[in-house]
Amino acid sequence: MNKPSIVKQLDEKDMRSLAGVGVMPGKDNYAATLVVRDQETAYVRSDHRDVELLPIAEAFKRYDWLKTEYSFKAVPAGYDEITRQCAAMERPIGYFIRVYKGAHVTLPCQTALYMATGGMDQAVHNIVILEEESELELITGCVSERRVATGRHLSVDEYYVGKNAGLTSTMVHSWGKQMQVFPRGGVIVEENGRYESNYISLSAAQLVKSDPQTYLNGKGASAQHLTVILGTPGSEIHTDGNVFLNAEDTNAELLHRGVCIGGKMYQGGLIIAKAPGRGHVDCAGMLLETKGDGFIQSVPGLQSHHPDARLSHEASIGKIVPEQLEYLMSRGMEEMEAVSMLIRGFLGADVIGLGDELDAQIAEIVEIAGHGEE
């Protein structure tokens, strides 16, 4: 068993915050773990011979090719103000993961971007490379300590999925109510590569602007993005992003699931077909009691440059259907239990394997929405 190469003091409250987004440093059932706390690497441990996990600064020192061939190639450094700030870091913070050719890593790799101190900018740059025929499940928790009210989290995530490789990325966000969060992502998928992304925001920040770009460059490459958002009063959440079908037989699916009890929720996403691929965008919103200050805007988008591309989209916004609620209640559930089950079902919680942390958030939302017990 390898010992962690870097261990700063992660105290009880740090561990509690990380556990809230499903990250548990020190547990054995992970291939590798890295935690960024504020602007330092606090924990690194790698237990798998086929997974290389390093702080990004160390990786840049070790591999010249990382800068020349990968860094800011999936996300241009000059894309916007966020990427420029991340690119300008003198001492880059973040992680580098490489899975070697042909390695099917069965245990997940976990990383955390954690803000323990308020009122600051956390800017990170992460690069993940899956070599040909390799597979990895990556769990990333992005979280602020519960007493941290303000601050900004800026990130650039670059994922490179090689030929016949498969990456499943589950990212869980849980931020303080005054935080501002700007994730910028770029994913390049090669021939027959598979990329699955689950983005889950359980506790909404004041402002979230997510805008990932996915490039399906190889024949038969596929991407599926599932975005699950719980919106609360005072929050403004934009989940956009583009998927480019750049090769034949590519396949993309963008799925948005949002439950809003207040605040502004913008569901977007554009599939751009430049080759004969298939794409589907599905936005679904559940608007609960908002006392007038909340809304959901769903704008699924399609752009086709190729006559043989097959693209479709759908969008729906509604409330909890009373007939469904009473149906579950007729099986003996109390109203709050039935609402929770409907929300969990709507969000696809069973599919993405969310457990207690989501239940706690849903219970809070049900109560705020006025369906809970007094």
Q: Give the one residue of 331, 355, 373, 374 binding other proteins; rule: CB under 8 A.
A: 331
Ramachandran angles phi, psi of 56, nearest 5°: -60, -35
The answer to whether 333 contacts other proteins (rule: CB under 8 A) is yes
126, 54 in Cβ contact below 8 A?
no
The answer to whether 356 contacts other proteins (rule: CB under 8 A) is no
> Tokens representing 38?
């504020």
Strands 222-231 vs 251-260: parallel, antiparallel or unpaired: parallel
**Span near other proteins by CB under 8 A; candidates 60-68, 147-155, 241-249, 336-344:** 336-344
Which residues, 6 or more positions from 22, have their beta carbon under 8 angstroms from its beta carbon?
Answer: 110, 139, 141, 170, 172, 357
Give me the numbers of helices (H) and strands (E) for the chain, helices first please: 8, 24
Look-up of token digits 């059932």: 29
Long-range contacts formed by 59-63: CB under 8 A, 24+ apart: 59/96, 59/127, 60/92
**Span near other proteins by CB under 8 A; candidates 138-146, 180-188, 291-299, 337-345:** 337-345
The answer to whether 230 contacts other proteins (rule: CB under 8 A) is no
Shortest Cβ distance from residue 347 to other proteins (Å)?
A: 8
Q: Give the one residue of 50, 131, 236, 335 binding other proteins; rule: CB under 8 A.
A: 335
The answer to whether 344 contacts other proteins (rule: CB under 8 A) is yes
Q: Give the one residue of 321, 353, 356, 370 binding other proteins; rule: CB under 8 A.
A: 321
Integer Cα distance of 195 and 246 in angstroms: 15
Q: Give the one residue of 323, 355, 373, 374 binding other proteins; rule: CB under 8 A.
A: 323
Residue by residue, DSSP assigns 208-237 as EEE--EEEE-STT-EEEEEEEEEE-TT-EE
Q: How many other C-beta atoms can be found within 10 angstroms of the C-beta atom of residue 270?
A: 18
The answer to whether 334 contacts other proteins (rule: CB under 8 A) is yes
Q: At what angle do helices 335-347 and 356-368 cross, to 10 degrees?
A: 120
Ramachandran angles phi, psi of 8, nearest 5°: -95, 175
Q: Give the one residue of 77, 315, 341, 352 binding other proteins; rule: CB under 8 A.
A: 341
Shortest Cβ distance from residue 359 to other proteins (Å)?
A: 13
Residue window 51-90: x/- pattern of binding to other proteins, with contact defined by CB under 8 A:
----------------------------------------
Q: Give the one residue of 92, 346, 354, 362 binding other proteins; rule: CB under 8 A.
A: 346
Shortest Cβ distance from residue 344 to other proteins (Å)?
A: 8
The answer to whether 347 contacts other proteins (rule: CB under 8 A) is yes
Smaller CB distance to other proteins: residue 322 or 355?
322
Integer Cα distance of 217 and 196 in angstroms: 15
Q: At what angle do helices 322-329 and 335-347 cross, to 10 degrees?
A: 120
Question: Contacts with other proteins in 162-181 (CB under 8 A)?
Answer: none
Q: How many residues bind other proteins (CB under 8 A)?
A: 24
The answer to whether 373 contacts other proteins (rule: CB under 8 A) is no
Shortest Cβ distance from residue 320 to other proteins (Å)?
A: 11
Residues that bind other proteins (CB under 8 A): 321-324, 326-335, 337-338, 341-342, 344-348, 350
